[in-house]
């Protein structure tokens, strides 16, 4: 990882998932999602926002109407490159991965660079009301500081070899950071370009619940084995925000062919 990136990353990460200097928040009791807005004025959007995440994604709602067809036509999504340096950290809220991947995503002509990936168990988004045991978030940021998150839902099934480098180096305690110089993480395999996906305007799913986040959620869940799921669950303890109301937002459904 080059020096420039090391300097830039903490800022980007703070914007994405770690409000380090703000009030402590969690997923249960008085620090739980229903109370986030009460914990700090900086978290007001968690209650007052109009475009909050996660949401339920229903194909039946998404495909209806010609306006969405046009939006699908103008969408470009692409992923590139692979990583050789990776940092894994258990920050108390999730397991987070940063690396030096030149991974990027173009959405509707806007360019977003990969910042970090992390996991939620169980899933935050639901498909037609169905919740999945695990969800991966790949946080991207544009030069202007706008955020886009690509999400993949994971269900128990066949072994997912792409996840082995992550599972093999999971931090064993909160606050632990592992710096892995020589580990190859094939980001194309971890986060494959989805053929079908949902798009909508949402927010961070953690305080400060910042809005203006472009969400891209793969419509086809991917699998991982029972053993792999158990490994994630041993480090993630129900770090999922409840479903938020759409409040008139449209869900776009995009199929590449
Ligand atoms: Zn997340």
Within 93-210, where are the H helices? 164-167, 187-190
Say how many Å lie between the CA of residue 28 and the centre of ligand 1.
Answer: 17
Q: What is the pTM of this model?
A: 0.82
pLDDT over 80 (residue 207) = yes
Q: What is the pLDDT of residue 165?
A: 81
CA of 66 to the centre of ligand 1 (A): 31
How close is the Cα of 14 to the center of ligand 1, in Å?
13
pLDDT, tens digit, for every residue of 73-121? 333 444 443 344 567 777 778 887 776 655 777 887 788 888 888 899 9
Closest CA to 5 of 84, 73, 102: 102
- Distance from the alpha carbon of residue 239 to the mean position of ligand 1, in angstroms: 9
User: 126: which strand partners?
Assistant: 56
pLDDT digits (tens, 9 = 90+) for 144-175: 999 999 899 999 999 998 888 888 878 777 77
Over residues 52-84, the pLDDT tens digits come to 999 999 876 665 333 322 233 333 444 443 344
Q: Which of 93, 118, 125, 140 is catalytic?
A: 93
Ranges 157-166, 172-181, 186-195, 243-252: which has the least confidence: 186-195
Burial (CB < 10 A; 0-12, 13-18, 19+), residue 145, is exposed
Q: How far is the CA of 4 from the centre of ligand 1 (A)?
A: 25
Pairwise CA distance, residues 141 & 105, whole Å: 9
The reply to whether 93 belongs to the active site is yes
Distance CA 205, CA 52 (A): 7
Q: What SS3 state is found at 77?
A: coil
Rounded to whole angstroms, how far apart are CA atoms 71 and 107? 11
What is the rounded CA–CA span in Å between residue 114 and residue 210? 18
Residues 59/246, Cβ–Cβ less than 8 Å:
no
Domains annotated for the chain, with CATH where assigned, are 3-255 (3.10.200.10)
DSSP states of 129-171: TB--SEEEEEEEE-TTS-EEEEEEEEEESS--GGGHHHHTT--
Beta bridge partners of 223: 155
């Amino acid at each position: 990882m080059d020096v420039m990136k090391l300097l830039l990353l903490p800022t980007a990460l703070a914007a994405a998932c770690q409000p380090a200097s703000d009030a402590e928040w969690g997923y249960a009791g008085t620090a739980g999602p229903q109370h986030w807005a009460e914990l700090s004025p900086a978290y007001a959007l968690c209650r007052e926002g109009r475009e909050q995440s996660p949401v339920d994604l229903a194909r039946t709602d998404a495909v209806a109407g010609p306006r969405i067809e046009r939006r699908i036509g103008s969408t470009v999504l692409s992923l590139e490159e692979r990583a050789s340096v990776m940092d894994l950290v258990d920050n108390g809220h999730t397991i987070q991965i940063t690396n030096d991947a030149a991974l990027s995503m173009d959405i509707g002509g806007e360019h977003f660079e990969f910042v970090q990936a992390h996991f939620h168990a169980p899933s935050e988004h639901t498909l037609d009301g169905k919740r999945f045991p695990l969800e991966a978030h790949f946080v991207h940021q544009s030069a202007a500081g706008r955020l886009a998150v690509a999400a993949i839902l994971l269900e128990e099934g066949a072994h997912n070899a792409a996840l082995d480098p992550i599972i093999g180096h999971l931090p064993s305690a909160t606050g632990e950071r592992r710096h892995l110089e020589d580990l190859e993480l094939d980001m194309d395999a971890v986060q494959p370009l989805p053929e079908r996906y949902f798009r909508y305007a949402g927010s961070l799913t953690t305080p400060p619940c910042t809005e203006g986040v472009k969400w891209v959620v793969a419509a086809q869940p991917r699998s991982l084995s029972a053993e792999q799921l158990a490994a994630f669950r041993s480090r993630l303890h129900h770090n999922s925000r409840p479903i938020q109301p759409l409040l008139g937002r449209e869900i776009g459904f995009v199929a590449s062919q």
